């Protein structure tokens, strides 16, 4: 009984994918316009994109920028969030600034940053960095704030220094919340990457989408959408596996990320 | 926390913002950054006020707001409806859950070219993109809010003779309101951001289009103004929804 259930819950997302593709196929057959290829046509166009050397290099370059932007953002945001959670002064210092910058569309900074830093990789990575930072800081902050005082007192009584308490008590205790933030951040990194490339129209995966749109290669447009969508779902699923290994002792509050742009 | 501590916290919070503006001013006035790259803050804010008073700019704001609210409201209605249905009916849950699991981490902005092809370059494609992005936080928080409703409340209502159909509206929905409103706040800020980005990618009007036009002609001042406008809009709408929330939830403990 139990195994049948877990089996079902494993295959359910896959079934959902197939169902959505089937709906797409039917809708495209009914509408029957050139600008809306069927799901099968789009899937058939995928190998030609991934086989094309230039597109592949573009996509890989996008992913490299995304990985660097995401990595740097996490390395800086987690310590900042943890410090905000444990020190009222640090929290009071940064909170209003973060609140004010929260509704700023980060990918929209692309034209301004390009004006300053040129069209190179740095501008694109900076935008991804900005997009990822806020949720990771926020979740680390929440996680560190919820750490039980008693554990910290015990740590202090056992002679741990403030820095040691941070690494050995606060960090592990806040880890589930931190990883929830990283999960949102990972989806956001991909969204920011695609959006900023769509706006800048220089190179990368987002640019392939719009170039194909301009040239009327509708199969490529939809194939690219499948590729980007698969990246989002794949990254999220991979991160979820990593997360559940790292914090097996804690049940996630939300088993899906509240992804946002 | 006493009043004095609150004031000192507020002062401390203003400090980094003031420092950033000061740095911005210093970069501009000591000539490290030419005005074509980084216009001084005074210039940007006078231009902002000037633009806010001009009818042309107000029309751009109106276009953006129309798309934003249309998308957000559709997302609220659809998200709350699906969220409630999934939380109360196991059959709906079995269908919705895997679909949401697949669609939630999908970067919706990648769908935008498809929406353009299907719905054209007008309002419809942008509104649909806003719906797609704002839907999931609202749906998920409705779902979690409604599934956390204490079973005792439902039993008491049933014991008091409430018909099954009415329990949804009299017990589950009110109990889920705090969570729904949290989802709505996230969704609203997302709507602001997404509508602006969609207008930047392709549009003929709206605040995002103003930024792109300015970027093409390298008018740095006019690039900052729409960006500040949309951020202010986000802050104001967020504060309004917060006010609605504290009005609706007066008497509830603050979460």
Q: What is the pLDDT of residues A69-86, one digit of tens each?
A: 999 999 999 999 999 999
Confidence of residue A251 (pLDDT cuts 50, 70, 90): low
Most confident residue range from A213-217, B100-104, B126-130: B126-130
Cα–Cα distance between B211 and B229 in angstroms, integer?
Answer: 11
Task: Spell out which residues of chain B touch residue A233, defining contact as CB-CB under 8 Å.
Answer: 102, 105-106
pLDDT at A261: 34
Tell me, yes or no, if B238 comes closer than 8 A to chain A by beta carbon.
yes
Determine the pLDDT at residue B170.
Answer: 83
Q: Which residue intervals of chain B are DSSP H helices?
A: 3-29, 41-53, 55-88, 90-103, 112-119, 123-147, 151-159, 164-167, 173-201, 207-216, 220-248
| B17 at interface of A, judged by CB pairs closer than 8 A | yes
A184 touches A135 (CB < 8 A):
yes
User: Higher pLDDT residue, B224 or B8?
Assistant: B224
Q: Residue B138's closest chain A neighbor by CA?
A: A258
What is residue B163's predicted lDDT score, i.e. its pLDDT? 83
Q: Which of B98, B105, B192 to mutate to test the interface with A (most CBs of A within 10 A)?
A: B105
B208 → chain A, closest CA residue = A108
CATH architecture type of domain A36-246: Orthogonal Bundle (1.10)
Chain A CB within 8 Å of residue B143 CB:
no
- Per the CB < 8 Å rule, is B200 touching A102? no
Domain ranges of chain A: 36-246
Produce one character per residue of A180-214: b if its CB has 16 or more CB atoms within 10 Å, e if not: bbbbbbbbbbbbbbbbbbbbbeebbbbbbbbbbbe
pLDDT tens, residue by residue, A33-65: 878 888 888 898 888 888 888 889 989 999 999
| pLDDT at residue number A258 | 47
- Contact indicator for A132, A69 with CB cutoff of 8 Å: yes
Which range has the worst mean pLDDT, A4-18, A46-60, A234-248, B117-131?
A: A4-18
Q: What is the pLDDT of residue A206?
A: 86
Contact flag A108-B186 (C-beta cutoff 8 Å): no
Give the closest of B9, B105, B200 to A187, CB-based: B105
Residue B66 and residue B77: Cα distance in Å, rounded?
A: 17
The total number of residues shown for chain A amounts to 261
Asked if the model's pLDDT at residue A127 lies above 90, the reply is yes
Q: How many CA atoms lie less than 13 Å away from B36 in the CB half-sphere?
A: 3
**Of the segments A142-151, B22-31, B33-42, B132-141, which one has the largest average pLDDT value?**
B132-141
To test the contact with chain A by mutation, choose from B32, B102, B126, B239 the residue with the greatest count of A C-beta atoms within 10 A, namely B102
């Amino acid at each position: 009984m139990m195994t049948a259930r877990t089996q079902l819950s494993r295959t359910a997302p896959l079934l959902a994918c197939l169902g959505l593709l089937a709906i797409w196929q039917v809708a495209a057959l009914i509408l029957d316009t050139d600008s809306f290829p069927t799901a099968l046509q789009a899937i058939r166009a995928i190998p030609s994109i991934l086989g094309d050397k230039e597109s592949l290099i573009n996509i890989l370059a996008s992913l490299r920028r995304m990985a660097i932007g995401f990595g740097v953002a996490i390395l800086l945001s987690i310590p900042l969030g943890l410090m905000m959670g444990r020190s009222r002064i640090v929290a009071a210092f940064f909170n209003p600034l973060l609140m004010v910058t929260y509704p700023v569309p980060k990918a929209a900074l692309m034209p301004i940053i390009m004006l300053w830093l040129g069209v190179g990789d740095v501008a694109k990575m900076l935008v991804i960095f900005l997009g990822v930072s806020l949720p990771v800081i926020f979740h680390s902050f929440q996680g560190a704030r919820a750490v039980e005082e008693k554990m910290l007192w015990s740590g202090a009584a056992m002679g741990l220094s403030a820095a040691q308490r941070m690494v050995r008590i606060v960090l592990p205790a806040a880890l589930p919340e931190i990883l929830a933030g990283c999960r949102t951040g990972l989806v956001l990194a991909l969204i920011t990457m695609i959006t900023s490339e769509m706006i800048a129209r220089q190179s990368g995966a987002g640019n392939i989408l719009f170039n194909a749109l301009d040239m009327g290669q509708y199969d490529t447009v939809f194939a690219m959408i499948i590729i980007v969508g698969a990246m989002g779902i794949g990254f999220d699923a991979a991160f979820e596996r990593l997360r559940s290994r790292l914090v097996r002792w804690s049940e996630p509050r939300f088993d899906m990320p509240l992804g946002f742009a | 926390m006493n009043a004095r501590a609150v004031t000192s916290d507020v002062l401390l919070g203003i400090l980094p913002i003031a420092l950033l503006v000061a740095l911005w001013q210093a970069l501009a006035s000591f000539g490290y950054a030419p005005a074509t790259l980084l216009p001084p803050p005074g210039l940007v804010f006078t231009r902002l006020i000037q633009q806010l008073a001009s009818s042309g700019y107000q029309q751009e704001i109106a276009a953006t707001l129309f798309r934003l609210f249309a998308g957000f409201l559709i997302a609220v209605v659809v998200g709350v409806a699906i969220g409630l249905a999934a939380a109360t009916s196991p059959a709906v849950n079995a269908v919705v859950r895997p679909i949401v699991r697949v669609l939630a981490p999908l970067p919706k902005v990648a769908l935008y070219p498809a929406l353009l092809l299907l719905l054209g370059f007008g309002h419809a494609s942008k509104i649909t993109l806003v719906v797609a992005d704002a839907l999931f936080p609202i749906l998920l928080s409705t779902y979690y809010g409604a599934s956390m409703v204490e079973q005792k409340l439902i039993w008491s209502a049933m014991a008091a003779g409430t018909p099954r159909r009415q329990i949804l509206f009299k017990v589950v929905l009110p109990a889920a309101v705090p969570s729904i409103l949290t989802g709505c706040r996230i969704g609203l800020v997302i709507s602001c951001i997404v509508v602006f980005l969609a207008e930047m990618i392709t549009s003929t009007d709206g605040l995002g289009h103003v930024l792109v036009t300015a970027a093409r002609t390298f008018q740095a001042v006019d690039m900052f103004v729409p960006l500040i406008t949309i951020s202010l809009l986000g802050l104001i709408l967020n504060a309004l929804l917060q006010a609605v929330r504290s009005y609706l939830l007066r008497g509830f403990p603050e979460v």
